[in-house]
A and B are shown apart, each in its own frame.
Chain A
Amino acid sequence: EPEVTQTPSHQVTQMGQEVILRCVPISNHLYFYWYRQILGQKVEFLVSFYNNEISEKSEIFDDQFSVERPDGSNFTLKIRSTKLEDSAMYFCASSGDSGGSDTQYFGPGTRLTVL
């Protein structure tokens, strides 16, 4: 069964450093998403991406964040200058061709620890 994959599974970084989290969505999906979950809190939407551009973003997704689909398979989330409060699980998700009402499948997540 096709699945979303993410690398790395755990990333430790120093405050102020840049990190790139990588995702390979399900191959025939067209919509890609990033969510995050701070320990003990809700899963929160960050951004959605369709047709090589951002389709929606939350207020969390400020200028420190960017997304890119550098090739036909990878989808990346970059945090330019990490803060302590960026420590969280980051989940990539993808869905088919019906946008937000279509089912989103989640990857295993990247645990980001900012020291």
Chain B
Amino acid sequence: QKEVEQNSGPLSVPEGAIASLNCTYSDRGSQSFFWYRQYSGKSPELIMFIYSNGDKEDGRFTAQLNKASQYVSLLIRDSQPSDSATYLCAVAMDSSYKLIFGSGTRLLVRP
């Protein structure tokens, strides 16, 4: 059974701080990694994707991938109250079309 694990949180950080969200996955065949943001009652919204080991930066967001450790993370710099949401980690294998989602980490950014 292919699993994607996330700490459910909530992760509470003050405004302006760095929020660090983590995700582990069980299948070494996983090739593509995605972070989605989901506000309550809304659909997943793509934040970032990463395919290769290392860091990938996009504005205030940095995704980090370590395939040897089967670990992917998302750093949010200068966190804003509007970043308060559930962050979903999703994984896909090259041989499959489906995304396997973690249960999400709820982030609260305190003003």
Interface presence of B96 (CB below 8 A): yes
Contacts of A25 in B (CB 8 A): none
Contact B43 A91 (CB under 8 A): yes
Contacts of B22 in A (CB 8 A): none
Q: Indicate which residue in B45, B46, B49, B97 contacts A56 across the interface (CB closer than 8 Å).
A: B97
Interface presence of B109 (CB below 8 A): no
Interface presence of B71 (CB below 8 A): no
C-beta contact mask, B37-66 vs A, less than 8 Å → 1, else 0?
000001111100101000000000000000
**How many B residues are at the interface, by size bracket?**
20 to 34
Contacts of A41 in B (CB 8 A): 103
Measured CB to CB, the closest approach of chain B to A20, in angstroms, equals 19
Contacts of B101 in A (CB 8 A): 42-44
Contact B93 A100 (CB under 8 A): yes
C-beta contact mask, B74-111 vs A, less than 8 Å → 1, else 0?
00000000000000101011111111111110000000
Interface of chain A, main secondary structure:
strand
A43-B44, A45-B100, A109-B43 given; A100·B94 CB < 8 A: yes
A residues whose Cβ falls under 8 Å from a Cβ of B: 31, 33, 35, 41-45, 48, 50, 55-56, 58, 89, 91, 99-101, 103-109
B residues whose Cβ falls under 8 Å from a Cβ of A: 31-32, 34, 36, 42-46, 49, 51, 88, 90, 92-104
